[in-house]
Amino acid sequence: MSRPTIKTDLMTAGETGYLKLVEVMQALPDQTQDFNFEVTEKMTEAHWRRDQNLRDVLIHLYEWHQLLLNWVEANQNGKAEPFLPVPYNWKTYGQMNQEFWEKHQTTSLEDAKKLLHDSHIAVMTLADTFSNEELFTKQYFSWTGTSSLGAYFISATSSHYDWAMKKLKKQIKANR
């Protein structure tokens, strides 16, 4: 499916992506096992070394859902907040991701699954409250900058779910 440009496609992509992610999770031979695939020099993104198991991946998704939910709520309530909390920006968000990872090293896999499930529902419910125009008109809301609100929802759901599935499929392949 191509990147959504209308609300119905955004909603479908989010739900379909989540269901596919659950299927891929269920295909993992051992959901508690640390990843054992080879990380090569071509895999330059920090997540290849940071997220070491299913829990880490699910918590990453959950925390990005929280960023979206908190950002929208604050701005809708008249409190101008950037998407990334201070002191982070788009050049330093890797440090924020590392802090998310550290924060959840004692979170159980079952808790991570529940957190993600509940936050997915919350994000999709929130997305559904906006009109197509509100979601896909760039700068409809002053607080979305030069982007559309829908782009943030896509990034936090279907695009991020694709990222997670790629990583989990690599683990599945490594264990064949």
Question: One digit per residue, pLDDT tens: the chain, 176 residues?
Answer: 689 999 999 999 999 999 999 999 999 988 888 888 776 777 677 676 778 899 999 999 999 999 999 999 999 999 999 999 999 999 999 999 999 999 999 999 999 999 999 999 999 999 999 999 999 999 999 999 999 999 999 999 999 999 999 999 988 888 77
Burial class (CB in 10 A: 0-12, 13-18, 19+), 71: buried
Please report the domains of the chain, with CATH numbers, ordered by start residue.
7-28+58-175 (1.20.120.450)
Q: Which of helix, strand or coil describes residue 15?
A: helix
Nearest to 135 by CA among 28, 5, 3: 5
> Which pTM value belongs to this model?
0.94
